[in-house]
Amino acid sequence: MKKNYLKIIIYSLVITGVGVFVIDYFSHLVFSDPMETVPYFLTKAALYFVFSLLFLSFVDLKNKRFLKVFIAGVVVSLLWGFYYNILPAVMDSVFNIDFYPFGIVLSGLTFLGMGLLGTGVAFGVVHTAAFVGGYYVTVLIERIMRRR
């Protein structure tokens, strides 16, 4: 089967736009303190875009679509959490290097005052929902386009 690469790129942009700049942005805006930085969202958008490209290019979504999309959302959330939270801790403790990616470290944030573990879990859920929500907006767009 021939892939429609333009469609994959456009859908990846939709997943990124809706997931990062709508779902994730407003979750941070409403529930987290302090608000994350612009470079944080731009870096996350780059990761979500590349991940979405790979996901849409290589995963067959004909069967068990929701499960596959949910697992992909968990994977991209874990990748972001590794890059943004675990990697800085490893760099600091093992190599004595101050590596803090764009934004605020997890220990400097709170999600409704839930503490470090609760905040980490909440952000994991939000980041998973960002990918899943972004993907299902593409499904909605596709259904609307078919009706025309």
Q: What integer pLDDT is reported at residue 72 of this predicted model?
A: 95
In this prediction, residues 82-94 reach a mean pLDDT of 80
Domains of the chain, residue spans: 5-147
On the question of pLDDT at 10 being above 80, the answer is yes
Average pLDDT, the chain: 88
Please state the pTM of the whole predicted model: 0.86
Q: What percent of the chain has pLDDT over 70?
A: 94
Specify burial of residue 50 (Cβ count, 10 A radius: 0-12, 13-18, 19+).
Answer: middle
On the question of pLDDT at 74 being above 60, the answer is yes
- Give the burial string for 125-147 (b: 16+ CB within 10 Å, else e): ebbbbbbbbbbebbeeeeeeeee
| C-alpha of 30 from chain center | 17
pLDDT tens digits along 97-138: 777 767 677 667 778 888 878 888 888 899 999 999 999 999
Phi/psi at 28 (5° precision) = -65, -45
Task: Evaluate whether 47 touches 80 at the Cβ level (below 8 Å).
Answer: yes
- More confident position, 146 or 114: 146
